[in-house]
Amino acid sequence: MKEPLQRWQNPTVYTYQQTIRQKIIGYDLIYDLMTNMLHNHPCTDRMLIVGAGGGQELLTLGRTFPATKFTAVDTSSPMLQLAEQQIGQLHVPLDVEWHATDLRSLKMDEPFDIATCHLVLHFIEDLHVKKALLKKIADSLKDGAVLFVSSINADLTALTFKHQLRHWQSSMLQNGISQNDWQRFEQSFGMTTHPIKFETLVDLLQEVGFTTVIPYFKSHMIDALIATKEEAKEVFKC
């Protein structure tokens, strides 16, 4: 999971690809299902990858859509370097424009056909900033374009939250996460990890212009959704 900037500026970023799969059961399905669904999308020429550090989006999408022009945005330069290493596995040059910055400060020359924002939102504390990021993504898309988004979603005040954590702990420990690493993860909630309720996420997406929001993956507190921007009056074209 893509955590606050200070963590992603040190050498531990290079263990990311191993540990993320130990934490999120079914991690690769988030990206494989996304790629499968995009086979039916009318246009995949330009894709915006928000939180591109680590490179899983670029690696998975690049295999299937090597002719796509990607714009990869992440606030962490080391994580973007890791992403570059990842796509080196493809042995096919991808057209990637790299931006080590906050998406909200980036100017877009033309709208995108697809956007992704995986495992980013829960590291933003302020609800208004979460909404501003989603609004920037929506404004960067064509009408009829889609956003794939995933995040930890939970109500920290709910009686069921501790039960959810206990079940997730069991999965992580069985998947090779140490007890110390689990404790650090558990203690991050309310400190560096700031989930919102699933219903709140859906509301935010609809408020910024995504008229259709459909979940397509769930693992413990991780949800992945596909959100379609308000449909164009004419048929979506490249």
Query: Is 1's pLDDT higher than 80?
Result: no
Give tens-digit pLDDT for 199-212.
999 999 999 999 99
- Note the pLDDT of residue 232: 58
- Note the pLDDT of residue 14: 57
Stretch 2-6: mean pLDDT, rounded? 43
Over its C-alpha atoms, the chain yields an Rg (Å, rounded) of: 17
Across the chain, what does the average pLDDT equal?
A: 92
Please, which residues have CB within 8 angstroms of residue 130's CB and are 6 or more apart in sequence? 121, 124, 196, 204
- Lowest-confidence segment of 10-19, 143-152, 211-220, 221-230 by average pLDDT: 10-19
pLDDT band at 236 (very low <50, low <70, confident <90, very high): low
pLDDT band at 234 (very low <50, low <70, confident <90, very high): low
- Note the pLDDT of residue 16: 73
Give tens-digit pLDDT for 100-126.
999 999 998 899 999 999 999 999 999
Q: 63 with 90: CB under 8 angstroms? A: yes
Closest CA to 219 of 63, 33, 18: 33
- Note the pLDDT of residue 237: 67
Q: 213 with 206: CB under 8 angstroms? A: yes
Token digits of residue 144: 């009829």
- Lowest-confidence segment of 7-21, 179-193, 202-216 by average pLDDT: 7-21
